[in-house]
Structure 1
Amino acid sequence: MSPINIGIVGAGIGGLATAIALARAGATVTVLESAAELGEIGAGIQMTPNVSILLKRWGVDKEIGDNLVRFEELNMRRKDGTPVGHTKIATLEKTLNRPWWVVHRAHLHEGLVTVAERLGVKLIVDAAVTALEYAKNQSVTVTSRKGTFVFDFVVGADGINSVTRKSLFPDVAPEPPTTNCAYRAIVPYEQIRKDPVARELIEKKTMEVWMADNAYIITYPICAGTMFNLVLSHHRPEKLRATQHDVPIHELHNEYKDFDPRIKRVVDMIDSTSRWPLMVTGPLKSWSSPRKNVVLTGDAAHSMVNHMAQGAATAMEDGAFLGKCIAKVVEGKLRLDEAVDIYEKERMPKAFAKQQVSFLNGAIWHLPDGPAQQARDAVMAPELQGQYYVKSSNLYGDPKTVLDVYGYDAEQHADTALAALLNGGREPVDANTGIAKSLEDEFINWFQAEKAKL
């Protein structure tokens, strides 16, 4: 075993997930967080099946408990509320053998902190990083508000305004690709129940999407089903590059005045909100320093628009994959630079694909009324009758997208890539069947798992 001392810059959702994965790999892990207290701002977040499997595997789900909410169905709608598409979530979950959760960011963060600390991760707050020296030696010297640290390896998980990225690539800056931005808000279920029109929306736990010209609303339950979370997409006259707090509430109310009366009543219950920019980073040519002793993850490397709910999920995948790579370093089977190379080779295309599918879903949801919108709605229509289909413009239920995005397992991907690397570049195959494990998992083991549950 080769001990390795790793520093992580940033204790957000991605940084904590990375800390857990690296600690599980056998590394000594220290996380430097700039905030004076640990915590997470914002509202709800989707833990789609590609990351719910990580929460279960790591035991984070048990810490969060009932605050991880499962919903029954996804309903796609026109702006006026007319049903367009439908996904039965139980069917998706059964096929993938994993849940689709929604949760408040604060509850998710608390669960990650608890598991990280249990694994021995050292969390240091009020430790804003001001400089990194990674070129002179193989070790990395990190200067922070809490003093100077020396690590064998540093992970920059410090988000959209990453100090780590600025140190590695000073000319790279995240940019809003369009004038699209989003409001976020939470309304108590109890308040909605008192409204004779709006309460129809909460008769059961659902995810709802209202699509409109250059706007949409997506809603789902959080906080053990006591809070109604809203993300409200819209466009501004100019690009937004920083969060605007205390937005005049009439701006939000007016933006959605022509929507379905049920959701309009809920929107009118919102008494304060912030406007969030949608910033995109990259794709970058590299995520690492020349010596491979510093590497980026999450929004520091590949921030994306929010239309597939994959920003935090992709950061968590990065951490999970990197953890498997570092485990081989700890075991003495790989050098650190080899581990970083395979991480970049495999994860960079995956992150780019997530950025692309997020753009695509935004384009689909924002279509103006007309031929394209009518075609979109027509190909979703079979979902409303529960008919069989092989392709849909509802990417949350489209079979291929579900398998590619939600059926992905970052740790399984890492195991496959590492097995191939250590086998001379080709994945090993079973001596009896001749089948590679990754293909066996994809085509056989999934239904074997289903049979085991019967």
Structure 2
Amino acid sequence: MSSSPLNIGIVGAGIGGLATAIALARAGAKVTVLESAAELGEIGAGIQMTPNVSVLLQRWGVDKEIGENLVRFEELNMRRKDGTRVGHTKIATLENTLNRPWWVVHRAHLHEGLVKVAERLGVTLLVNAAVTGLEYSKTQAVTLATRTRGSFVFDFVVGADGINSITRKTLFPDVAPEPPTTNCAYRALVPYDQIRKDPVAREIIEKKTMEVWMSDNAYIITYPICAGTQFNLVLSHHRPEKLRATQHDVPIHELHNEYKDFDPRIKRIVDMIDSTSRWPLMVTGPLESWSSPRKNVVLTGDAAHSMVNHMAQGAATAMEDGAFLGRCIAQVVQGKLRLDEAVTIYEKERMPKAFAKQQVSFLNGAIWHLPEGPAQRARDAVMAPELQGQYYVKSSNLYGDPKTVLDVYGYDAEKHAETVLAAHFNGGREPVDAAGIAKSLEDEYMGWFQAEKAKL
């Protein structure tokens, strides 16, 4: 093993790039992040840290940095656009089963927490360092040229530079993200204090809840952020044409008119929004590869697999990529794997996971956008047992559907990596104990309730 640490460059200091930086620094690599913006920060509003990534925030100590700005909510209510409740998930039941919280948070607070942990781990964060070119084919080393900071040479480069990724454009110039439909989203914040003054709207905020109002051409999802002081709204809608770029300063009457027939309680809150932007829902891939021929450059997050937002898994999937890659690179740092082997394992395991997320995200949007008719009535009927707290095996409410909860929210990227690596070092088959049981299956069938029993 080399006496010098593996020198890794990450293009992009967004949520996915910082999560990757943390995971790689924890793996023992020397990590430098190149960010094009003049200062670190995140724009936008709320984001869900679903249990599949809240476990990473806890494991990495990011949750301690964010503190009370990581908000937990009590329940999810699925509604028709007139406010009729048709589905329900008690979040404590889900959290207790998975032994992880479901947080909602402002993107800026999440980003700030990731920055603090990355810096504490020794990650170098360079702003005003827009990458303009990559040279990765002449030698095993990778050279990154930047607009204002000169050139950098790394042993390995991770392109975490989002939907407009220069890394992806260099590796795969013929690939371009596309909107699969005319679906777009508004995002907005309204202060809770303002809502409390409205005698109709304030009923919605009596408890900390996540609410979804479903309609054929639009939906609204809401939840509290910023220590419960801000009411976050994501407002899905369709346009006459496909949109490929964010539109700022949208005429506010367009937003107000889009939801004029919704439940008066949420309509009153929508009318409090005084400015917004319209965001396109873009999908990248699936790609045939995420890496360069030498495996010295690799993509993560939206650069590789941007997806629609209906399952709140875009940033989460990027964080999973980083966490999984970190465990693979740890084996390179320790001299147990070659870099190309680590990247091959990462691609083989994470590419189908990301593709599955893209599909389930699109399908959840289709479920929420069903027009009035037989399919919509069937959707609501199979959610109905949730309203009485009855046992059910499957639900069209994917935020509470047992299979989706286990597959998506119960996933642990680092444990997945450990299982795959153990199999790799054992000739392709996961090791078993004296009783012939593999650890991953023991964890799946017994570990979840033993963890709960340990609290008793």
Q: TM-score, normalised by structure 1?
A: 0.99
Give the C-alpha shift of residue 190 in structure 1: 0.1
Could you report, residue by residue, the CA deviation over 1:277-323 in whole angstroms, capped at 9, with x for unpaired residues?
Answer: 00000000000000000000000000000000000000000000000
Provide Cα deviations, 1:345-394, integer angstroms capped at 9, x if missing partner: 00000000000000110000000000000000000000000000000000
What CA distance in whole angstroms lies between the structure 2 residues aligned with 1:414 and 1:147?
Answer: 35
Instruction: Give the match for residue 110 of structure 2.
Output: 108
Q: CA deviation at 1:126?
A: 0.3
Specify the SS of the correspondent of 1:231: strand
Q: CA deviation at 1:92?
A: 0.1
Distance between the aligned counterparts of 2:397 and 2:199, measured in 1? 30
Q: CA deviation at 1:407?
A: 0.1
Give the distance between the partners of 1:235 and 1:445, measured in 2 at CA.
44
Q: CA deviation at 1:107?
A: 0.0
Instruction: Supply the distance in 2 between the matched residues of 1:444 and 1:205 (Cα, whole angstroms).
Output: 32
Output the CA distance in 1 between the equivalents of 2:201 and 2:371.
Answer: 26
1:332 to 332, 335, 342: 335
Tell me, in whole angstroms, the C-alpha distance in 2 between the residues paired with 1:167 and 1:26. 28
1 CA distance for matches of 2:132 and 2:266?
45
Deviation at 1:47, TM superposition (A): 0.1
The one of 438, 441, 448 equivalent to 1:439 is 441
Distance 1:131 1:243 in 2: 25
Deviations 1:15-57 (A, max 9, x none): 0000000000000000000000000000000000000000000
Alignment correspondent of 2:79:
77
For residue 246 of structure 1, report the CA deviation from its aligned partner: 0.3
How far the C-alpha of 1:225 sits from its partner, in A, is 0.2
Counterpart-to-counterpart distance in 2, 1:224 and 1:178: 35
Shift of 1:453: 1.0
Deviations along 1:326-352, one digit per CA (max 9) or x if unpaired, are 000001000000000000000000000
* Matches of 2:158 and 2:113, distance apart in 1: 21
Q: What is the match of residue 315 of structure 1?
A: 318
1:264 paired with 2:257, answer no
What CA distance in whole angstroms lies between the structure 2 residues aligned with 1:440 and 1:3?
35
Question: C-alpha separation between the residues in 2 aligned to 1:412 and 1:357?
Answer: 22
SS in 1 for 2:250: coil
Counterpart CA distance in 2 for 1:444 and 1:385 is: 29
Partner of 2:371: 368
Task: Report what 1:237 is aligned to.
Answer: 240
Structure 1 distance, partners of 2:451, 2:140, is 45
Distance 2:387 2:225 in 1: 25
1:186 maps to: 189
What SS does the aligned partner of 1:40 have? coil
Deviation at 1:214, TM superposition (A): 1.9
CA offset digits 1:83-127 (Å, max 9, x no partner):
000000000000000000000000000000000000000000000
1:182 deviates by: 0.3
Provide the C-alpha distance between the structure 2 equivalents of 1:446 and 1:182, rounded to a whole number of angstroms: 36
Output one character per residue of 1:240-281: Cα deviation in whole Å (capped at 9) or x when no partner. Answer: 100000000000000000000000000000000000000000
Query: In the aligned structure 1, how far is the partner of 2:64 from the partner of 2:146?
Result: 34
How far is the alpha carbon of 1:401 from its aligned partner?
0.2
Q: Distance in 2 between matches of 1:443 and 1:382?
A: 26
Residue 135 (structure 1) aligned with residue 137 (structure 2): yes
Q: Structure 1: how far apart are the matches of 2:206 and 2:387?
A: 19
Deviation at 1:3, TM superposition (A): 2.0
- Equivalent residue of 1:247, what SS? coil
Could you say which residue in structure 2 is the equivalent of 1:22?
24
User: 2:243, 2:98 → 1: CA distance?
Assistant: 37
Give the equivalent residue in structure 1 for 2:353: 350
The 2-side partners of 1:227 and 1:330 are apart by: 43
**Cα distance in 2 between the residues matched to 1:3 and 1:30:** 12
**Residue of structure 2 aligned with 1:91, choices 93, 113, 130:** 93
**Cross-structure match for 1:421:** 424
Where 2:24 maps in the other structure, the secondary structure is helix
Partner secondary structure for residue 447 of structure 1: helix
Per-residue CA distance 1:182-201 (angstroms, 9 max, x = gap): 00000000000000000000
Measure the CA separation in 2 of the matches of 1:337 and 1:20. 21
Q: Secondary structure at the match of 2:454?
A: helix
Deviation at 1:426, TM superposition (A): 0.4
Secondary structure of the equivalent of 2:418? helix
In 2, Cα distance between equivalents of 1:69 and 1:445: 27
Q: Residue deviations 1:54-95, cap 9 Å, x none? A: 000000000000000000000000000000000000000000
Aligned to 1:125: 127
The 2-side partners of 1:14 and 1:255 are apart by 32
What CA distance in whole angstroms lies between the structure 1 residues aligned with 2:448 and 2:238? 42
Q: Which stretches of structure 1, 4 residues or more, deviate above 3 A after TM superposition?
A: none
**2:115 is paired with a residue of what secondary structure?**
helix
Q: CA deviation at 1:203?
A: 0.4
Q: CA RMSD in A?
A: 0.5
Q: Distance in 1 between matches of 2:217 and 2:290?
A: 33
CA offsets, 1:190-236, max 9 Å, x none? 00000000000000100000000121000000000000000000000
Gaps of 5+ in 1: none
> Partners of 2:358 and 2:219 in 1: how far apart?
19
- Between the aligned residues of both structures, percent identity stands at 90
CA distance in 1, matches of 2:207, 2:447: 33
Q: Distance in 2 between matches of 1:157 and 1:411?
A: 18
Distance 1:147 1:47 in 2: 36
Q: CA deviation at 1:147?
A: 1.0
> What residue ranges of structure 2 are gaps of 5+ in the alignment?
none
Please list the CA deviations of residues 390-446 of structure 1 after superposition, one character each: whole Å capped at 9, or x if unmatched.
000000000000000000000000000000011110000112x21101001100111
| Partner Cα separation in structure 2 for residue 249 and residue 229 of structure 1 | 17
Partner secondary structure for residue 89 of structure 2: strand
Distance 1:350 1:22 in 2: 20
Alpha-carbon separation, structure 2, partners of 1:151 and 1:427: 33
Counterpart Cα distance in 2 of 1:60 and 1:239: 37
Partner Cα distance (1:323, 1:21) in 2: 5
Matched residue of 1:453: which SS? coil
Count of matched residue pairs: 452
